[in-house]
Amino acid sequence: MRKLIFFMHTSLDGFVAGLNGEMNWIKVDEAIFDFVGTMTDRADTALYGRVTYEMMESYWPTAADKPTATKHDIEHSQWYNNVSKIVLSRTIKETGLHNTRVFGENIAENINRIKQQDGKNIIIFGSPSASNSLLKMGVVDEFWIFVNPVLLGQGVPLFKDITETVLLTLVETRTFDNGVIALHYAKL
């Protein structure tokens, strides 16, 4: 069965963005890009909230075409353009979107239906509000949390308004030279 896997960068004190959405504190390098590339190779569907989707859509479709495109830009742009996309939104319309479905209602039912189909994993990058909603719906199967060596003190929390205990088991960890530690958890 396909899994829905959550990917998120966080500060050591549990924030995914600053108070104004700042993410300039996130440490990424070629090692992290290569590692995440192995994860995207195992996925054929990307899931986004509306805000993250619009941000991704404004960059990734043409990122590989830029004269300054990095190896990561080229690889991720190709993956982004070929992967099926799901956007959680009540305001975006599917009309004219490339390889993209929009779920505004019956989200858990629709995602569980897709998880039952043949294919690779479904991944959600970022999208903190959508991720929290999916967690509350019980459809997230695994988590990759990239803990960055920074304390923000305040901002957008990694998990918000979780009202039920979610038991997890540590599957693996990965330490990067830039100080980021990736924690891989699966739901029990």
Domains and CATH numbers, the chain: 4-142+164-187 (3.40.430.10)
Q: What is the pLDDT of residue 161?
A: 83
pLDDT at 31 over 90: yes
User: What is the rounded average pLDDT of the residues 57-63?
Assistant: 96
157: nearest Cα among 11, 54, 47? 11
**pLDDT on residue 17:** 94
- Residue 96 has a pLDDT of 85
pLDDT for res 11: 98
Does the pLDDT of residue 10 top 90, yes or no? yes
- 130/177: higher pLDDT: 177
Buried/exposed 119-149: b ≥16 CB within 10 Å, e otherwise:
eebbbbbbbbebbbbbbbeebbbbbbbbbbe
Cα–Cα distance, 28 to 64 (Å, whole number): 18
pLDDT at 98: 87
> Is the backbone of residue 138 left (phi > 0), alpha (psi -120 to 50) or beta?
left
Helix, strand or coil, per DSSP, at residue 142: strand
Mean pLDDT of the chain: 95
pLDDT value for 125 = 87
pLDDT per position as a tens digit, 115-156: 999 999 999 988 888 988 999 999 999 999 999 999 999 999
Query: Looking only at Cα atoms, what is the longest distance across the chain?
Result: 48
